[in-house]
């Protein structure tokens, strides 16, 4: 039987009870048509999950009784991976966000760049959409930790902001980079992934001047969305839990 999973932040847990908000309650009641006494799992977005039973269902909230702590179906990787990807046309970045969650990425930073041909119009609306996509992907893939999604930022500004980043910063470029073997073992990585048109020469120089290692993969020419998903997979295989 499929496990029904819902999200509630730690603030909504109180002793042996957890309260679902209006959106999660609506999904529980109107979409899945669960009733009092039915079993459901609740995850708190920071890594913990609990087996629960529905105690009450109201118009704007549902209360569940926690039975036991459960092991999430998809455990967290030992690799703390942040993906910084340039905005893409249409809904391509929606797919990248979804797959980043499935691949165990912890933080996602949307960026603009010189050759980015997408306007960062109404960023709050786009951010809200990506967060909804990440939430649904988290429910479906079995993680108990929500991927953080930051505000849209310019590539050069992000470089400056992460000068004191405690892990490895890797700039994936279509040219002028080293072989992937140059990447040494790491437990915390910030991966920069470029736009459809590639990086501008000045941006490559900015990354190099900031001490960021540039990597160029050989063998295939990938679209930006394919590259983002592939890079997350490769990093999890090399340094994370996809063995």
For the segment 104-161, what is each residue's pLDDT rounded down to a tens digit? 999 999 999 988 877 766 666 788 899 999 999 999 999 999 999 999 999 999 999 9
Return d(Cα 22, Cα 57) in angstroms, integer.
10
In this structure, the answer to whether residues 179 and 59 fall within a common structural domain is no
Q: What is the pLDDT of residue 123?
A: 64
In this structure, the answer to whether residues 209 and 102 fall within a common structural domain is yes
Return d(Cα 47, Cα 77) in angstroms, integer.
11
Return d(Cα 11, Cα 175) in angstroms, integer.
47
In a domain, 47, yes or no: yes
pLDDT tens per residue across span 152-208? 999 999 999 999 898 999 999 888 888 888 787 789 999 999 998 889 999 999 999
Q: What is the pLDDT of residue 135?
A: 95
Output the CA torsion sign for 227, 233, 234, 235.
positive
Q: Classify strands 62-70 and 13-14 as parallel, antiparallel or unpaired.
A: unpaired
Q: What is the pLDDT of residue 89?
A: 86
Cβ atoms of 88 and 115 within 8 Å: the answer is no
Last residue of a domain, which of 70, 101, 126? 70
* Domain boundaries, position 20: 5-70
In this structure, the answer to whether residues 132 and 234 fall within a common structural domain is yes
Last residue of a domain, which of 70, 105, 127? 70
pLDDT, greater one: 100 or 185: 100
Residue 90 DSSP code? T
Cβ atoms of 49 and 13 within 8 Å: the answer is no
């Amino acid at each position: 039987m499929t496990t029904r999973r819902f999200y509630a932040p730690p603030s909504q847990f109180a002793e042996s009870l957890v309260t679902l908000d209006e959106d999660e309650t609506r999904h529980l009641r109107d979409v899945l048509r669960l009733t009092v006494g039915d079993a459901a799992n609740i995850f708190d977005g920071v890594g913990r999950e609990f087996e629960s039973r529905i105690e009450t269902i109201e118009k704007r909230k549902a209360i569940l009784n926690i039975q036991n702590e459960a092991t999430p179906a998809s455990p967290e990787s030992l690799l703390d991976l942040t993906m910084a990807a340039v905005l893409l046309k249409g809904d391509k970045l929606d797919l990248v966000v979804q797959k980043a969650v499935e691949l165990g990425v912890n933080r996602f930073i949307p960026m603009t760049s010189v050759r980015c041909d997408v306007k960062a119009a109404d960023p709050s609306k786009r951010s809200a959409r990506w967060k909804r996509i990440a939430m649904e992907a988290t429910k479906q893939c079995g993680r108990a930790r929500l991927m953080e999604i930051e505000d849209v930022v310019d590539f050069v500004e992000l470089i400056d902001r992460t000068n004191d980043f405690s892990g490895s910063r890797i700039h994936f470029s279509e040219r002028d980079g080293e072989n992937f073997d140059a990447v040494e073992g790491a437990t915390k990585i910030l991966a920069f992934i470029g736009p459809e048109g590639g990086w501008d020469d000045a941006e490559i120089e900015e990354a190099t001047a900031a001490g960021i290692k540039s990597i160029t993969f050989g063998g295939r020419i990938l679209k930006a969305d394919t590259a983002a998903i592939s890079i997350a997979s490769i990093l999890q295989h090399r340094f994370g839990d996809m063995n």
